[in-house]
Chains A and B, each alone.
Chain A
Amino acid sequence: MISNRPEMVAAIAGTMRSTVSRRRLLQAAGIGGAAMAVAACGGTGGDTAGSGSESAAPVAASAEDLSDTEKTLIWSNWIGYVDINDETGERPSLDRFMADTGITVTYNEDINDNSEFFAKVRTQLEQGQEIGRDIVTLTDWMAGLWIQSGFVQKLDKANIPNFSNMIASYLDVGFDPGREYSMPWQSGFGALGWNKSALKDALGTDTLVSLDQLFDPALKGKISVLSEMRDTMGIMLAWLGFDPTNFTDDQFGQAIEALTQQVDNGQIRQVAGNEYVAAMESGDVTAVIGWSGDMFQLGDAFGVALPESGGTLWTDNMMIPALASHKKNAEAIMNYYYDPAVAAEVAAYVQYVSPIKGAKEAMAKIDPALVDNPWIFPDDAILGNSYVFMSLTPEQDATYQRAFQKAIGN
């Protein structure tokens, strides 16, 4: 019925005036993806399911690089994840790259959910076909899955001199030691967000600091939590005093139980996740477990904080899919966005964490007020109170996803 096409998203974007934030439109396309999946389920489900022949040591296939003759590049990213001139709708940094290099970039905002995007391209990847994209931008755990499965090409760092601008702590991640396959695009936090005046009416305070407050009966039916398992469960685990970077099955079970209780007693109104921004604006939801950048894009009437017990920290990573035929062009744009001045320009708009050294200094020239914003340039206090979710084996991932989906009614 509805497939996850960019024009679909664009159509919806058109109907929702006002500022468009990154995850604002996700639900729309998320549902589109779901429709697609169900359609596929009735259609080619058997083929995809039967084609599993991943070898133990996957090798990423590469195609002939057409970069020298074809000055084009197709990039899949999340919505509202690059600077946009709100008046003209142009993307200044992207336009400048195109003017400077002569490479035409097709920038698709068609990643709305890691699992959904993967479901869309999985068959092609497994059957060794190219997926029509030269860069994809995926969250850590999904990036790890792609790297493990041999779905991405190794970066040629000779083409990316600015690679050295990557902040050191990003270099040695478990899923890609030394960053051979991926470069961080932006990071962000799973945090508490709230509508200040509505919270004051309900709780008598306009700051939210803990999940105890979030689960106060005065907020019954006015809470939304993220459908991204790692963000919601990471925060729940920390609330119960467990370590989201290293926990046991039993501890996860307890966190699920705590979540189930809040769902069943009606405290949590929705776990649709991506919809929470619109629901906050309409007043349907007072407080959320949400994503840091979104709250800033909502404006001053809304607050954001890491819960005292701790929030989550995630990163979305740029990667070059197997068989992508414009690898050098892709590396050129990765290099371009690792220039501190350009990185600062992006961060000033999207208000997520920039992984690039020198972006902070460059920010002084763009918007001095943002230089000390710990949500863009996190300080030790904020980093010390946020956790990167434990990396899971595929079996654990499957088990935990099931438990989580069951808790939220699926």
Chain B
Amino acid sequence: MVVGVATTGGTSIAPVAQRRSRTGYFLLLPGMAWLGIFFAIPFVTLFMTSLQAPVEGSPGQYVPALQISNYASAIAEYWPQFLRSFLYAGIATLLALLIAYPLAYFIALKSGRWRSLMLVLVIAPSFASFLLRTYAWKTILADESPITTFLNALHLLPDGRILNTSIAVIAGLTYNFLPFMVLPLYAALERLDPRLIEASNDLYANPITTFRKVTWPLSLPGVVAGTLLTFIPAAGDYINAELLGSTQDRMIGNVIQTNFIEFRDYPIASALSFMLMATILVLVFTYIRRAGTEDLV
């Protein structure tokens, strides 16, 4: 969003604009080189790898080919993990939104002088390694932990445990990506003009209507950005499934890892990665279109 604003400024005076635009291209070079080397080239290699064919008689060896059937066999074998990834990521995103919205609202509009501190607190967990934070959840959700014991006393857990179930994986995903939801929401809500809410009240809208007609629509860019920033990494994540899940909770990242390391089946691993990317891309475009905020994201 910010980038969009920064690059569209200043085209009023012709000669200056001329010079400025050339400078602009020049300044783009490092970024483009970065993208080219670390995204475009690997992207093409990844795609080519995904079409390679195995060498008969020597496992782990592949030759360039146009084996489109890799995609079919990857889907046939791993569609459950695919669906599960999007399901878990979807639920985690929704939960993160439900948790983050009130939090961001409070920080943006009600926290007063505590605002900076609260923002730091939101980001603070990210100072610790992602892996360590997920490990901590193993302890938090352990069978003998207070949370599990309490929920078990209420007979709320079908398996009698949280760790190594889908609940734990979704909880871990929600927790780990929560800051990515809070921050864009905060940025959107912070810019909300309080006078609009006052106006809405003056016009006899009740708080719910005010939220529905004023706050929510104005925060939509934040909602869209936040959900994307949460959903995309969550769908590709495998650490939460690995550490907190059971064998029934494997996500697409886990099978990519297995194909890459255990099977040394690079074409299938690449095909899976490629499909993950493509699916996310399609989902994102559909989503942005439906949210009607192309110009904002």
Contact = CB atoms under 8 A, between A and B. Distances in A.
A54 B45 contact: no
B104 to A, nearest CB: 25
Contacts of B135: 12, 15, 28
Contacts of A395: 57, 59
Given A27-B243, A46-B45, A283-B144, A119 B261 contact: yes
Contacts of B45: 43-47
Interface in A113-137: 115-116, 119
Contact of A269 (B38, B239, B246): B246
Nearest to A116: B261
The dominant DSSP class at the A interface is: helix
A282 B55 CA distance: 46
B139 interface: yes
B131 A2 contact: yes
A259 B25 CA distance: 60
Interface stretch (A91-99, A336-344, A362-370, A401-409): A401-409
Interface stretch (A30-38, A71-79, A210-218, A245-253): A30-38
A61 B38 CA distance: 32
A268 B143 CA distance: 15
A31 B143 CA distance: 23
B83 to A, nearest CB: 14
A158 interface: no
Contacts of A35: 239
Contact of A34 (B57, B129, B257): B257
Given A48-B266, A54-B61, A31 B242 contact: yes
A15 B132 contact: yes
Contact of A282 (B131, B142, B257): B142
Interface residues of B, number: 56
Contacts of A46: 45-46, 48-49, 266, 270
Given A44-B45, A49-B62, A270-B247, A12 B261 contact: no
B38 to A, nearest CB: 8
A18 to B, nearest CB: 13
Nearest to A397: B59
B60 A40 contact: no
A13 B239 CA distance: 18
A217 to B, nearest CB: 13
Contacts of A1: 130
A42 interface: yes
Contacts of B138: 278, 282
Nearest to A40: B260
B56 to A, nearest CB: 10
B238 interface: yes
Nearest to A407: B247
Contact of A37 (B62, B163, B257): B257
A138 interface: no
Interface of A: 1-2, 8, 11-12, 15, 27-28, 31-35, 37-38, 40-50, 52, 54, 115-116, 119, 221, 263, 266, 268-272, 275, 278, 282-284, 394-395, 397-398, 401-402, 405, 408-410
Interface of B: 38, 42, 45-46, 48-49, 52, 55, 57-64, 129-132, 135, 138-139, 142-144, 159-161, 163-164, 238-239, 242-243, 246-250, 253-258, 260-264, 266-267, 269-270, 273
Given A409-B250, A410-B254, 8 more contacts: A11-B132, A27-B242, A28-B131, A41-B260, A49-B266, A270-B246, A282-B143, A410-B258
12 contacts: A15-B135, A40-B260, A41-B273, A44-B45, A45-B49, A45-B270, A46-B270, A49-B49, A115-B262, A270-B247, A282-B144, A409-B250
